[in-house]
């Protein structure tokens, strides 16, 4: 059986899914008596109409790039890492410990150290489910999702009992020292004469995210490890034939996946909040699954899908702020997009594939 052309696979399918999700969302908006056209206009304006909007869109997108890449790397080894949420929480702990307890003179050094801290903590959190999967066959979907709860409880305990400054009422760490504060896009773009919004939280972590995209692409398609990860993902028996250790690949792929999820904390914890708060991940770990599915586990696809979801997040927030469309409905719209681009992917793909094949047959 032949396939449809790659461009249709990579672009047309998600685009049609997106349109379907948009139509359904419009119907829902009409259903509650609001104007869908006005809503879309507001979303676009709010998310992309100003550097402030862009600043938020890109801030969210940065989160989703990390978690999307995390899920994508695991996908290549045919593993479903649902634990991005917990791994990102632990990443936040790593960042907080580095920023609070290492005397770092400059943000560049702090960024390097925090990157290591976030990756190591995230990877460590993914390591236990990975080893359980590789050695004991405990299904990674179950264990990673359970580890999300453990992570939340652990973080809660750490913040309430150990890291909370004396006298503070909320479960959060103290402010990180000023030397560790990362430059925002405003700080970075002003020297080259661009006037970017000062209030928007997008920061230098975005650059790290883009580098991570490049690194994952190199890893998966240009290195021996990536070759082995993909081979293992396609066929475990073939991997064993070639002398690729299933245990090793399972653990290594999950370590990389967890590390990437952990890096997300750089953006939220170090870049934006400048302290560790209890719920800093806010579901980005789960959005990563949709982003990886929509991006077909390719870093470029993940990047584009992450920006789209960033747009939905920021646009949705604007919508809730300026219209009578309730916050819950925004979640419905986001859920529809996830449903159509992720879970119902084959619903669009199969008829489209048939269409392409019948067209090709006519030509031939």
Partner 1 sequence: MTTAPAIELRGISKAFGPVQANKDISILVERGTIHGIIGENGAGKSTLMSILYGFYKADAGEIFIGGQKTEIPDSQAAIAAGIGMVFQHFKLVENFTVLENVVLGAEDGRLLRPSLATARAELKALASDYGLNVDPDAVIADIGVGQQQRVEILKALYRQADILILDEPTGVLTPAEADQLFRILGRLKAEGKTIVLITHKLREIMEITDTVSVMRRGEMTATVRTAETSPTELAELMVGRKVLLRVDKTPAQPGAPILEIENLSVTDSAGVQRLRGVSLNVRAGEILGLAGVAGNGQSELLEVLGGMRTATGRITMNGQPIDLGGRHSDGQSRRARGIGHVPEDRQREGLIMPYSAWENSVFGYHHDPRWQNGPLMDNAGIEAAAQDQMDRFDVRPPNPRLAARNFSGGNQQKIVVAREIDRNPDLLLIGQPTRGVDIGAIEFIHKQIIALRDQGKAILLVSVELDEILSLADRVAVMFDGQIMGEGPAGSATQVGLGCLMAGLGGDDTRDMSGWTISDAAIIEEGTPDVSRIEAQLAEKHADASKEV
Please work out, in degrees rounded to the nearest 5, the angle formed at the alpha carbon of residue 337 by the alpha carbons of 336 and 342. 105
CB of 245 to partner 1, least distance (A): 7
Shorter beta-carbon distance to partner 1: residue 242 or 321 = 242
Shorter beta-carbon distance to partner 1: residue 47 or 229 = 229
Task: List the one residue from 112, 234, 335, 350 that touches partner 1 (CB under 8 A).
Answer: 234
Task: List the one residue from 138, 181, 245, 323 that touches partner 1 (CB under 8 A).
Answer: 245
CB of 235 to partner 1, least distance (A): 6
Q: Which stretch, 8-16, 47-55, 163-171, 225-233, contacts partner 1 (CB under 8 A)?
A: 225-233
CB of 1 to partner 1, least distance (A): 5
Residue 360 found at the interface with partner 1 (CB under 8 A): yes
Task: List the one residue from 80, 196, 227, 286 that touches partner 1 (CB under 8 A).
Answer: 227
Asked if 268 contacts 261 with a C-beta cutoff of 8 angstroms, the reply is no
Per-position DSSP letters for 256-318, written without gaps between them? HHHHHHHHHHIIIIIIIISS-BTT-STTHHHHHHHHHHHTTT-HHHHHHHHHHHHHHHHHHHH
Shorter beta-carbon distance to partner 1: residue 80 or 217 = 217
Measured CA to CA in angstroms, residue 118 lies from 94, 214, 258, 264, 302 at distances of 5, 19, 10, 8, 21
Q: How many whole angstroms from its chain centre is CA 304?
A: 11
Task: List the one residue from 230, 275, 298, 349 that touches partner 1 (CB under 8 A).
Answer: 230
How many Å apart are CA 68 and CA 81, to the nearest integer? 10
Q: Which residues contact 142 (CB under 8 A, 6 or more apart)?
A: none
Task: List the one residue from 194, 241, 324, 327 that touches partner 1 (CB under 8 A).
Answer: 241
Task: List the one residue from 41, 50, 223, 279 that touches partner 1 (CB under 8 A).
Answer: 223
The closest alpha carbon to 129, from 159, 154, 151, 152, belongs to 151
CB of 48 to partner 1, least distance (A): 37
Shorter beta-carbon distance to partner 1: residue 191 or 243 = 243
CB of 17 to partner 1, least distance (A): 23
How many Å apart are CA 1 and CA 233, to the nearest integer? 21
Shorter beta-carbon distance to partner 1: residue 10 or 357 = 357
Per-position DSSP letters for 193-235, written without gaps between them? T----SS---BTHHHHHHHHHHHHHHHHHHSHHHHHHHHHHH-
**Site residues (vs partner 1, CB under 8 A):** 1-2, 218, 222-224, 227-228, 230-231, 234-235, 237-238, 240-245, 357, 360-361, 364
């Amino acid at each position: 059986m032949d396939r449809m052309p790659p461009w249709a696979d990579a672009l047309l399918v998600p685009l049609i899914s997106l349109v379907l999700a948009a139509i359904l969302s419009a119907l829902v908006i009409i259903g509650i008596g609001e104007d869908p056209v006005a809503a879309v206009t507001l979303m676009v304006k709010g998310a992309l109409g100003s550097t402030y909007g862009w600043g938020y869109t890109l801030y969210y997108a940065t989160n989703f790039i990390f978690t999307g890449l995390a899920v994508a790397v695991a996908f290549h080894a045919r593993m479903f890492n649902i634990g991005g949420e917990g791994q990102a929480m632990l990443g936040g702990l790593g960042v907080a410990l580095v920023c609070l307890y290492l005397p770092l003179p400059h943000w560049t050094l702090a960024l390097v150290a925090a990157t290591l801290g976030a990756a190591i903590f995230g990877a460590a959190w993914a390591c236990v489910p990975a080893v359980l999967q590789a050695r004991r066959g405990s299904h990674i979907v179950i264990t990673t999702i359970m580890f999300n709860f453990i992570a939340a409880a652990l973080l809660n305990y750490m913040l309430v009992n150990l890291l909370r400054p004396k006298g503070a009422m909320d479960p959060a760490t103290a402010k990180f020292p000023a030397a560790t504060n990362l430059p925002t896009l405003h700080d970075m773009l002003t020297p080259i004469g661009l006037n970017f919004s000062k209030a928007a939280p997008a920061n230098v972590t975005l650059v790290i995210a883009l580098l991570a995209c490049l690194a994952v692409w190199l890893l998966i398609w240009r290195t021996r490890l990536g070759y082995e990860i993909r081979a293992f993902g396609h066929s475990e028996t073939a991997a064993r034939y070639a002398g690729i250790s299933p245990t090793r690949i399972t653990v290594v792929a999950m370590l990389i996946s967890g590390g990437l999820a952990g890096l997300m904390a750089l953006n939220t914890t170090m870049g934006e909040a400048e302290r560790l708060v209890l719920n800093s991940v806010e579901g980005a770990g789960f959005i990563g699954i949709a982003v990886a599915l929509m991006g077909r586990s390719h870093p470029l696809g993940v990047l584009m899908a992450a920006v789209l979801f960033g747009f939905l997040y920021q646009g949705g927030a604007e919508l809730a702020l300026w219209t009578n469309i309730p916050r819950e409905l925004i979640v419905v719209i986001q859920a529809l997009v996830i449903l159509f681009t992720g879970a119902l992917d084959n619903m669009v793909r199969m008829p489209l594939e048939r269409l392409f094949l019948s067209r090709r047959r006519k030509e031939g």
